[in-house]
Chain A
Amino acid sequence: GAGVSQSPSNKVTEKGKDVELRCDPISGHTALYWYRQSLGQGLEFLIYFQGNSAPDKSGLPSDRFSAERTGGSVSTLTIQRTQQEDSAVYLCASSSPDRAYYGYTFGSGTRLTVV
């Protein structure tokens, strides 16, 4: 597609429920990243996929968080047993070698609210 697409744009969930967030990167972009941004804060790295390499999961805050990328394209971030501190905007970005030295194109984000 023309841009990075994320869904849903907003998600309200009850504490303890599982949620799935989806990211569809720009076609042909080999690298895909997940970040989260809490209100008024900077971007916190979560996970990074590059081609067929093993993902860099070093930013996942707990084992309740997991992500996969199928067929080198669409990615799903899953949060199990959501907690109130998981409330944030979850941003997906994609990149490629010809994209300004691997600069990111971000999606519009998923705003997650855990009540």
Chain B
Amino acid sequence: QKEVEQNSGPLSVPEGAIASLNCTYSDRGSQSFFWYRQYSGKSPELIMFIYSNGDKEDGRFTAQLNKASQYVSLLIRDSQPSDSATYLCAVKITNAGKSTFGDGTTLTVKP
């Protein structure tokens, strides 16, 4: 079992729809959780982090964390073609330690 697993994708949604990206992790002691966006040929860019159970909203993005279910998700509302990218889920066991990344889910938003 991988430490961090994401929907295999690819995921395709129409412009204006909600895109839902999911991630599960194996270590119940994990402390902090991140979503990175990676455009083709570019480096990953941090877009969200969350460390408490519940929802965290930032503009069109909402991160959701359920530690009991070991589940993290990212919702993108009013999806735009510019959101088309690979989204990487990352998990830290300790806040200052290294992140373990999932393999990513590729999202395509169709105009």
Q: Decide yes or no whether A25 CB sits under 8 A from chain B.
A: no
Q: Give how many B residues have a beta carbon under 8 Å from the other chain's beta carbons.
A: 23
Residues of B within 8 A of A103 (CB): 34, 46, 49
CA gap between A59 and B98 in the complex, in Å:
10
| Neighbour of A102 across the interface among B32, B101, B103, CB < 8 A | B32
Let me know if A105 and B32 touch, CB within 8 A: no
Let me know if B51 and A101 touch, CB within 8 A: yes
Residues of A within 8 A of B98 (CB): 33, 45, 48, 56, 59
Q: Which A41-65 residues have a C-beta within 8 angstroms of B?
A: 41-43, 45, 48, 50, 56, 59
Q: Decide yes or no whether B78 CB sits under 8 A from chain A.
A: no
Q: Which B73-98 residues have a C-beta within 8 angstroms of A?
A: 88, 90, 92, 95-98
CA gap between A108 and B39 in the complex, in Å:
12
Q: Decide yes or no whether A91 CB sits under 8 A from chain B.
A: yes
Q: Decide yes or no whether A97 CB sits under 8 A from chain B.
A: yes
The chain A residues found within 8 Å of chain B, CB to CB, are 31, 33, 35, 41-43, 45, 48, 50, 56, 59, 91, 97, 100-109
